[in-house]
Structure 1
Amino acid sequence: MEKLDLYDINHKKTDQTMIRDQSQPKNLYRLAVGVAIFNSKGQMLIQKRTDDKKLFPSLWDVSAAGAVKSGESSQMGIQRELKEELGVSVDFSEIRPKVTTTFPTGFNDFYTLNLDLNISDLTLQKSEVVEVKWASQAEIKQMIFSGEFIPYFAEFIDLIFVLKDRKDLYYSEH
């Protein structure tokens, strides 16, 4: 039984919690996290979800993602998810999300990393991840359009590819 902290509309943690997959209180939100890992060729590491996942079974997704558990920060949540799903250890304590998006029941803090990982060295969480591979921006967008990838907006994928090498949203460093 996984307990999740609840947040107000301003992304501020409240003193309320909920049990995952149970009814979520109205006007309170949960926190999810995602990370896109890029190699030096500019490709994103993507994972294929298992066929028994409740949401988006058997579809490809970003490198790692999941819910932030009660008592965890966003950074702690993504660090745990990355370790659980791919066996990759990264200290996120000094890393901020590149972008935060919303969905009807929550917020999603999204991170990027530049790492040249060897796929054969990864330890996949068999209950969640079927396989992983490197894919270009164009390949991922084609997979979205063909229904093989979680149906993110193609423009979101474009934004993640732009932000992977950026420290801010400006054309020049200040």
Structure 2
Amino acid sequence: MVRGSKFKEDTYHMVVHVCIFNLEGKMLIQQRQPFKDGWPNMWDITVGGSAISGDTSQLAAEREVYEEIGYKLSLDGVRPARTINFDKGFDDIYLIKQDIDVSKLNLQYEEVQSVKWASMEAILSMIDEETFVPYHKSLIELLFFMRNRNGTHTR
């Protein structure tokens, strides 16, 4: 498929998102370039993008992390923390705990103008201020809640 083209019958679109959290519990967020289609200049979760033909979910997520912020991440044996279905596709979301020195990241000029660590409260405020991609606030809260948990039970 070519980006922006209509989906053929019985085809789907795989999207991946990776949320990297540091040991302080903050999420690494990125600011999109001003010339990007869709949400220019807005802040977003760590990385996200579409899989390409032949990608597994893990390979697509690793590639997106490396392309957008220049960080080599291995998701070998790691499953998505959540999968969200949408019309004509699904979005696999990975929650990773990793302390990263942001000054050593190599940001992809075409995609990312800046990165920083942010608390859940800061991100929710940025959504209110319309400086963050307008995700459902409950999704952001869930991502922060699930970052240290595996599964849906409390024990």
Q: TM-score range by the shorter chain?
A: over 0.9
Unaligned runs of 5+ in 1: 1-17
* Residue 128 (1) aligns with residue 111 (2): yes
Tell me which amino acid in the other structure corresponds to 1:100: T
SS where residue 19 of structure 1 aligns?
Answer: coil
Is 2:97 the counterpart of 1:119? no
TM-score by length of 1: 0.85
**Greater Cα shift, 136-145 or 104-113:** 104-113
Aligned residue type for 2:38: L
2:132 counterpart residue number: 149
Equivalent position of 1:96 in the other structure: 79
TM-score by structure 2 length? 0.95
Higher alpha-carbon deviation: 67-76 or 93-102 = 93-102
Bigger drift between 93-102 and 68-77 goes to 93-102
Structure 2 residue 52 is matched with structure 1 residue 83: no
Task: Indicate whether 1:161 and 2:147 are aligned.
Answer: no
Partners in 2 of 1:152 and 1:104 — Cα distance?
17
Q: How many residues align?
A: 155
Partners of 2:42 and 2:29 lie apart in 1 by 10
State the 1:145 CA deviation: 1.3
Q: Separation in 2 of the partners of 1:132 and 1:47?
A: 4
Q: What is the one-letter code of the residue matched to 1:59?
A: M
The 2-side partners of 1:85 and 1:109 are apart by 17
AA matched with 2:131:
E
The separation in 1 between residues aligned to 2:69 and 2:76, in whole angstroms, is 19
Q: Match of 2:94, SS?
A: strand
Partner Cα distance (1:95, 1:56) in 2: 29
CA distance in 2, matches of 1:43, 1:119: 13
Distance in structure 1 (CA, Å) of the matches to 2:17 and 2:119? 18
1:27 is displaced (CA, Å) by 5.2
Segment drifting more, 136-145 vs 97-106: 97-106
Query: Once superposed, what is the RMSD of the aligned Cα atoms?
Result: 1.1
- Residue 154 of structure 2: SS of its match in structure 1? coil
